[in-house]
Amino acid sequence: MEFLVSSAVAVLTSCGVYLILRQRTFPVILGLSLLSYAVNIFLFSTGRLVQNLPAILDKYGEGIYTDPLPQALVLTAIVISFGMTALVVMIALSAYLTSETDKIDMTETTDEGDSA
Amino acid sequence: MSNLIIAPVVLPAVLAPFILMVIRHHLDLQRIFSMAGSIALVCISLVLTHQASGGEIQVYELGDWPAPFGIVLVLDRLSALMVLLTSVLGLCVNLYVISTDWDKRGEHFHPLFQFQLMGVCGAFLTGDAFNLFVFFEVLLIASYGLMIHGGGADRLRAGMQYVVYNLLGSTLFLFALGTIYAVTGTLNMADLAVRIAELPADDTALIRVGAVLLLLVFCIKAAVLPLHFWLPGSYANAPAPVAALFAIMTKVGAYSILRMYTLVFGPELALSAGLVGQWLLPAALLTLAVGMVGILGSRDISKLAVFAAIGSMGTLLIAIALFTPLATGAAIYYIVHSTLATAMIFLVSDLIIERRGKEIKPAPRMAQNGLISALFFVAAIALAGMPPLSGFLGKLMVLQASTGTPHQTLIWSVILIFSLVAIIGFARAGSLIFWKTTDPMEDLDLEEVQVAPLQTQGTVMVFVPIFALLFGLVALTIFAEQAIEYANATAEQLFDTSAYIDAVLGETAK
């Protein structure tokens, strides 16, 4: 399972980074989503990987449980990344509609580029 | 436990939805409530700073959960000062926005503005690393909205870059937090400090990776050199008053570096000794150099302001990178100065842009040429660190703090040489804008274009917030002794981590 989870994080991260470097809005948004999946899986695994254990402290049970905190962290991160994805789609759409290009870099409109 | 600590977060958080949902269609009401909120925030933060100045660290436990399990807000001298700075800056920017009608150019300015204040105040007050991430996101979401306020193709495309880059930064932040959590099992800063100090010496590889990742994230926020390239495009295209408000956002990065790398990854810990300063110092020197050269090289006034902001971050980060109490005191003094000065140059540049366009080139004389040129001159003096104003004192303190360190010659020469470059840059821009004016009669087309906005822009109110910022700079110079005392006391408190840890974890330990 460790191999599966870590390779999933690796594959998602590398695909995400590749897509972000494409410099067109749609691949970049896809890449950001993949990256956020990768980070969610990564966060999920930070509490150690275990199987078939409850995520809460069972007062009367055996006392074996999986760490609930990463799940709370992942939940927050998922909510935030959903909101961010929706926002970035809206901004990308309006940027595309007003400037009629979906390139991320701004060399066409500004004469000096990004400086330094 | 005083409930006032959470007020800087709750007040804007309540006000923003109220403005958005109830009084959305009444701009005057929106302005009244937004101003009232800003004034109230200044009052609250004054009280908080007064409470914190005694040196006592106050802790607010959300939901009354004890520290390592629940989320805490911590008020010490540094966070109180930063909240005060945020609220004062917020008030000035709000006043400027209202008096120039910037809030009419797009919808929902005031709710976004309040959410931005909430995020910034929360980031300064929180005592929990994950909560820091959440408040970063709050302030970023609001800043995305503010950044594209008013629209326009260029602004939207720059906003797109800004959003994508910051989303990448957030992802990196989560990776860093995950790594740190995997090693220590906690994200409360005080608890982290305790556990990291107890880590066995041969088991520190992973936590070092986490520390460096975290530093990268904060450096992105603080626009340190190799990671600064999001800033010129986005701030130069953002509405100028919004860019002035963003002056505090780079400081959030600087604040986070100060907080995390004195408390959690302290300079005296074996695992993090030299880990941060070693990388941060050259980057800070380069940031200063690029910022000041950028001032000299920029061809439009908003880029000039942007590079001035980057340059002042460079000086600030040099002071932070030294990680001695003396240098940290200098850094804290310089944070206040550079925030006010940066905000001022953005507001002044907005006045110039409204009257004669972005580009630094000869153009017809604009209205209130004398007053605006004087303000530009003062802002330039402040940012270049010339004698009468607090920038000079701040720079002097940084130089003083670096004496005796191994890189003294390098730091001194970089700061002094690039101050000169900045002065030349400002002088060039100022003389082109204010002295080399063309005769309007020569070019009738230009005159028609220029005359129309002049009449609408003649209000005195526009200058009030700029003079308020200037007043802040002057006060910082006149009351330098008290300010430096407070800064040094703050630095002392930062390096005395046991007091912080006791305040946060004390009640649980009992």
pLDDT tens for chain B, residues 1 to 510: 578 889 999 999 999 999 999 988 888 899 999 999 999 999 999 999 999 888 888 888 888 888 788 888 999 999 999 999 999 999 999 999 988 888 888 888 999 999 999 999 999 999 889 999 999 999 999 999 898 888 788 888 888 888 888 999 999 999 999 999 988 888 889 888 888 888 887 778 888 888 889 999 999 888 887 888 888 888 888 888 899 988 898 899 999 999 998 888 877 776 766 677 788 888 999 999 998 898 888 888 888 889 999 988 999 999 988 888 888 999 999 999 999 999 999 999 988 888 877 777 777 777 777 888 888 888 888 888 888 788 888 888 888 888 888 888 888 999 999 999 999 999 888 888 888 777 655 554 554 445 444 444 457 788 888 999 999 999 888 898 899 999 999 998 888 888 888 888 876 554
Kindly state whether residue A110 falls inside one of the protein's structural domains: no
Is position A80 within any domain? yes
Beta bridge partners of B261: none
Residue A17 lies in a domain: yes
Nearest to A73 among B130, B294, B303 (CB): B130
- Structural domain boundaries enclosing B29: 6-439+460-509
pLDDT value at residue A11: 95
Beta carbons of B164 and A88 less than 8 Å apart? yes
Residue B450 belongs to some domain of the structure: no
- Residues A77, B174: C-beta atoms closer than 8 Å: yes
The pair of three-digit structure tokens given for residue B122, joined into one six-digit string: 């929360």
Distance CA B406, CA B55 (A): 32
| Counted domains in chain A | 1
CB contact under 8 A, A114 and B303: no
Structural domain contains residue B444: no
CA atoms within 13 A on the CB side of B41: 35
Percent of chain B with pLDDT over 70: 94
Contacts of B56 (CB under 8 A, 6+ apart): none
List Cβ neighbours of B89 (8 Å cut-off, separation of 6 or more): B244, B245, B247, B248, B339, B340, B343
Residue A12, CA distances (Å) to A5, A104, B505 in order: 11, 22, 38
Q: What pTM value is reported for the model? A: 0.89
Count A/B contacts: CB-CB distance under 8 Å.
Answer: 113
Q: Which of A25, A49, A75, A80 to mutate: most B Cβ within 10 Å?
A: A80
Domain span holding position A13? 1-51+66-98
User: Chain B closest CA to A39's CA: distance in Å?
Assistant: 6
User: Is position A90 within any domain?
Assistant: yes
Which positions ≥6 away from B309 have C-beta within 8 Å? B223, B231, B235, B247, B250, B291, B342, B345, B346
Structure tokens at B214: 């975290």
Residue spans of alpha helices (H) in B444-496: 444-456, 463-478, 480-495
Chain A nearest-CA distance from B153, in A, is 5
Measured distance CA(B68)–CA(B505) in Å, rounded: 7
- Binary contact (B171, A98; C-beta < 8 A): no
Please tell me the total count of domains within chain B.
1
What's the longest Cα–Cα distance across chain B? 81
Element (H, E) at B136: helix B129-147
Residue A104 inside a domain? The answer is no
In 3D space, the residue among B224, B260, B399 whose CA is nearest the CA of residue B327 turns out to be B399
Q: Which residues of B touch A80 (CB under 8 A)?
A: 134, 137, 170
The β-bridge partners of B75 are B58
Q: How far is B112 from chain A (nearest CA, A)?
A: 14
**Chain A positions in Cβ-Cβ contact with residue B177 (cut-off 8 Å):** 43, 73
Query: Which residues partner with B126 through β-bridges?
Result: B73
pLDDT under 70: residue ranges of chain A: 55-63, 106-116
